[in-house]
Every structure is written in structure tokens, then in C-alpha cells.
Chain A
């Protein structure tokens, strides 16, 4: 989509920020916010849906109502953004730049587990709190001990897999699926980790992985994988996949008319484009994430997202990303200062009112997130989550026709 409306609004906001800055007689009337995330490179497709629109939405909303109240001053937000080209070396350099040359007051946590971990030591040295969203790992304890400025909000690798496991157990107990699961994963760090964890958890729960294969990142033809899964006869299909292959696997499932009662693919299943590309054929497909569109706060957020950025928010981490910005906002206002140590401490100690509900951190980890969602008649609703309301029952997949 060509973002003319969105650009115009950003231009207005930037001008407002610029005017506010220029006319300031006082040394600083602006909060400098740094954001580095992919705009090109392999992860750009995801960042463009989940990360960037939420940053820009939040900044514009704050500036439209005159900025943040910090103590007795009203301060506008000045956004400084860089494209890391999905390159960790590049990102690290840019992070140093934000801290030292641009001297930003706060940063938006990066997009992607690896990038959050790589920048944690750097931002930590300057005291920047990092409210990470797209960082999923089982090492949160060790990482937050090492980097007390790093906060996690989207759950652990185990929680990610647990949501799927619970659904599989439920459906097995209901007699809808047997003991057999066909599981595939993309051979990238994320997919490998999830598959590894799932192998343990699923086997522990008494399931049998009758088809357990990986495929390289960027495989153009997933039909052998889907045919293999189909031939295994399993009634449950789980794919730890990335955007391009989530799309590809869905297409293959439709072509092969995969006969399963439970179908799950991981990242990008929650993208509006997923439903856009396949329409009703992917009804009852499960995926990573979820949201409660009936919650008034979420509904309001989604409407504002579409109006201001011109894009529909995704049905998973978009809300969490926005919530992370809200936490930062409330922490700055609540601490009434731009001093980063104070704000970091405030984040640790307080509860926040966000679009995800009441959010608070326990040892730097927030346990308020959705893990599994399902496409139900054109809306991707949350079905499994932690500390979230509005989970709907899981439906069974009934064929792949419109």
C-alpha cells in the first residue's frame, strides 16, 4: 500500500515536534526516542507489520495531544530511526550511535531475539530500559540477571510451545485427534529452538511425532514437506515457521487438502495478509499470537492503528509492541523525570494500564501475552494465553475450501 496518508500525518507530527523544539527557550523540551529495526533484509517484512507502525502510531498520538507531562513540563517526542538492514553488526553500530552521538533519552527495544540480546549490554551501559517484545527465549532469568535493563513481554520459548501442547492434549482427550503429530520447522535459530523444545514437551505428553522434518530457510517448494506430512496420516500438523514459509505451507495444505483437525503455523499466521491471501480457506487455522478484538481497549487501539498508519495491526505482537510503548510512557510520566535509572526502577516496581490489560513485571518479565490464536471467520482470536481475557474455544479444522 502506498502510505501517502501516513506520511502526511508523520510530516505534520514531525513539524509540530520541530516547531516545539525550535521555539523552546529552555534547553530541552523534547524527549528524544531512538528506534532501530529492519526496513530492509530478511526480517523487514515482519518489522514493517509489527514494529514500525506501532512506534509511529504512539509517537504521533502523544505529540497530537501536546506531548508527555514530565514533572511540570510538557515534552514532545522526537523520533530518531535507523534501518539495521537485519544485520547485527550494523545494528550494534547504530545502537552506539543513538547512545553517544544522538544522545537519545530512551530507546525502543529492537525487533528480533538476537538483536535484543546483542544490544542489551550496550544499552545497559547507558542505562536505557529495553522493553523487549519480539524476544522469545528460555534464558530470561540468566539474561535479566546479566542485563537488569532488559524486560521481556512476550513469553518464553516453553510458553510458546505450551500453548500448542495444551490444545493438542485437549483435542486428543476429546477424541478428535490421535496420538500422532506431523511437525516441521524452519532451519533457523528460532525454528530450531522451538522444534527442539516441542519434541521434548510433546513426547512427554505422550504424543508420537510421525513426521518430524526441517526445511531450509528460503525453500521455494514446500510440496514434498506437505506431501510427507499428509502421507504420515497424522491428524495434527504443527509448523514452527517464518513468514514466507507460513504462507507457503498454507498454500500447500490447501492444494493437498490436508486432512487434519488441528493445523498450526507459527509466525505471520497472525498477519492480516495471511487472511487476505487465502480468504476463507484458512478458517480455523491456528497460529502464534492472538488478541481479543472484543476488548474495547483493543478495538480502540486497532481503529487508531488503521486510521493513523493506514495499515491493519497484526493479531499478535502489534498490541504488545504498543503496550510496551504505553509502559514507557506511563513510566516516564509516573517517575516525572527523564533520568533513565529512575524510570527503569519505576518499570520494575509498578503496574501499567495498557491495551493488553494490567501489565507488571516480575523479575523483569511480564506474563501477560497470548500464545496461540485461531482464524475464526476472518478474525484471528486468541485461544491460549497468559493473564489475558477473552480466550475463545478452539475449533477444529474442517477442510480447506472457502
Chain B
């Protein structure tokens, strides 16, 4: 039982790292970013490459990745996505356009990554067994969990307790209304997109220490992130965190008590059930 809780929470940490970034990008900047998984894998590639060629600890890479990913994603938003934002006359059209454009971006990123490393990013870091409350698990997962918690709490505090955070939440609620009260919506959107990308890349770097990734596996993480973000409800960071917890615990419980083969099916089932009973997700606003 304890095993389930401990492993489940650690898995939740992993899922939170995967989903929090997309929550910002979609909730605030309104970009359905299908390249989210590839940004994650880019972070992983950075950690793998720096560790295997220069023995730089992935924890250090995490710090290096933050500004690089932030700037990279900001540039993507500013130059590739802003034209779409400007020309779209409705939220629906922006969604369609961002799906098409980010799908293209994901292919470009895969192409770039494959030319750097076509094979598996096989390395392990801090793969030491540790015991938490009597349950055995690995140090790298625990560290990822701690960092995920830190990011989650940090985001929550920033979004709810600071002026800039409130501005971001305002944009998440309504771009029009925010604009009317003098919030610089394009700047906030770009910032949120960039921050989301940075978080995702950090997540990727951390995850790569215990999951063997390769250049093409991004789509699996994009799908997961989409499920978590929508299940949690768009626009509220708590939604993504709670959804990640639910999924992590459910998957681990099903794997231990029922059958590991049904983990993903069960996860999706929970997702479907939640949406059926709460069509706007756990923390989402009921759509008008």
C-alpha cells in the first residue's frame, strides 16, 4: 500500500513536470502546443549530451537549460506564433492554426535532434536506491519529484500572490478583458509561453536521468501532457498538478493491484470519466 503511494506520488511528479509547461502555454498564451513533447526531449538531449561528453551533472544542466529554453521558446512565440495570433479572428481559429503550426515545429525539432543523436539517450544518473517510508525507490525520481514540487509551489505562489502573476491569470481568464484593463496581453502571452517551454525542458532534463528517451518519443509526452492539462481544466495550474497526482496514483495502483498492462487504459478511463461528469475539467471554468 505504501509502495503505491510513494511510487504513485513520484510518478505524479514526473507527470507534473511534463504537463505544467503546457498548462501555461495553452492556458495563457492559448497555443495548443503539439511540439511540447519535443521541447521536453530537447531538454533530455541536452542533459544526455552534456553528461556523456563532458560529465556535467544533469542537475547543473537543468540550470543551464532554463535560460536557453526560455529564450528559444520566446523566439518561437515571437516569430512563428505571433503572426497566427494576430490574424486569427476567433479562439477556435487560433487553436486550429496553432495545431497546424506546432505540428510543423515538432517535425522540425525531431529532424534537428535526430541529426545530433539518432539513437537512444542511454545514461543513468543518481540511480541509487533509497528508502522512503520503507518503500524502495530511486534517488533520481525523488529529486525530480522534489523539483516538480518546487516548481509547482513556486508557480502557484507567483500566480496567486504577485502582481505579475495576477496579470497572467487575468490573461488566462480573458484576453479581451485583460487588454481593457491595461495588461499587455502579447507580452504576457509570450512570457507565459517561454516560461512554459523552460519548465518543460527542465522536466525533460530531469526525466532523462531515469527514463531512456530518444528523438522521436516526444509525441508520447505531448499526448500525456494534453490529457493532464485538459483533465485538470484549462487555465489553472492547480488543475494540472492535481490531475498529475490522480494519474500517477491511479496508474501505480492499477499496476500493482490489478495488472500493469491496464495502467494506461485505466488512466485514460479516469480522464474520460472526469470529463463526462465535469466537462470543463477539474478546475476549469464552465464554458459560456
Contact = CB atoms under 8 A, between A and B. Distances in A.
A–B: direct contact at CB < 8 Å? yes
Interface of A: 1-2, 39-42, 44-45, 48-49, 52, 86, 184, 187, 213-216, 218-221, 223-225, 227-228, 243-244, 247-248, 251, 254-257, 268, 271, 273-274, 276-278
Contacts of A271: 120, 122
Interface of B: 3-4, 7, 10-11, 14, 110-111, 114, 116-120, 122-124, 127-129, 136-138, 207, 210-217, 220, 251-252, 255-256, 259-261, 263-265
B214 A219 contact: no
Nearest to A254: B127
7 contacts: A184-B260, A213-B259, A215-B255, A216-B260, A216-B263, A223-B137, A248-B211
Given A219-B264, A221-B7, A224-B7, A248 B212 contact: yes
Contacts of B263: 215-216, 219
Contact of A247 (B122, B128, B136, B256): B122
Contacts of B127: 251, 254-255
Contacts, number: 123
B216 A42 contact: yes
A278 B122 CA distance: 9
B214 A44 contact: yes
Contacts of A221: 7, 10-11, 14, 251-252, 255
A256 B129 contact: yes
Closest 6 CB pairs of A and B: A224-B255, A273-B122, A214-B261, A247-B212, A48-B118, A45-B214
A140 B144 CA distance: 47
B211 A220 contact: yes
A256 B137 CA distance: 8
Nearest to A222: B260
A260 to B, nearest CB: 16
Contact of B122 (A215, A220, A255, A277): A277
A255 B120 contact: no
B262 to A, nearest CB: 8
Q: B10, B260, B264 — which one has the most chain A CB atoms within 10 A of its CB?
A: B260
Contact of A49 (B4, B119, B259, B261): B119
A221 B128 CA distance: 16
Given A214-B261, A227-B256, A247-B120, A255 B129 contact: yes
Nearest to B211: A220
A255 B130 CA distance: 8
Contacts of B123: 276-277
Given A187-B261, A216-B261, A278-B124, A40 B211 contact: no
A42 B120 CA distance: 11
A220 B252 CA distance: 11
Contact of A45 (B111, B120, B256, B261): B120
A268 B212 CA distance: 12
A311 to B, nearest CB: 8
A2 B116 contact: yes
Contact of B3 (A218, A225, A227): A227
Contacts of A52: 118
Contacts of A215: 255, 260-261, 263
B256 A224 contact: yes
B239 to A, nearest CB: 21
B114 A244 contact: no
Given A48-B118, A213-B260, A243-B120, A220 B14 contact: yes
Nearest to A273: B122
A255 B255 CA distance: 18
A40 B111 contact: yes
Given A219-B260, A271-B122, A255 B138 contact: yes
B101 to A, nearest CB: 20
A244 B11 contact: no
Contacts of B212: 243-244, 247-248, 277
A255 B141 CA distance: 11
Nearest to B214: A45
A234 to B, nearest CB: 16
Contacts of A40: 110-111, 114, 215-216
Nearest to B122: A273
A306 to B, nearest CB: 15
B134 to A, nearest CB: 13
Nearest to B223: A218
A257 B127 CA distance: 12
Nearest to A250: B124
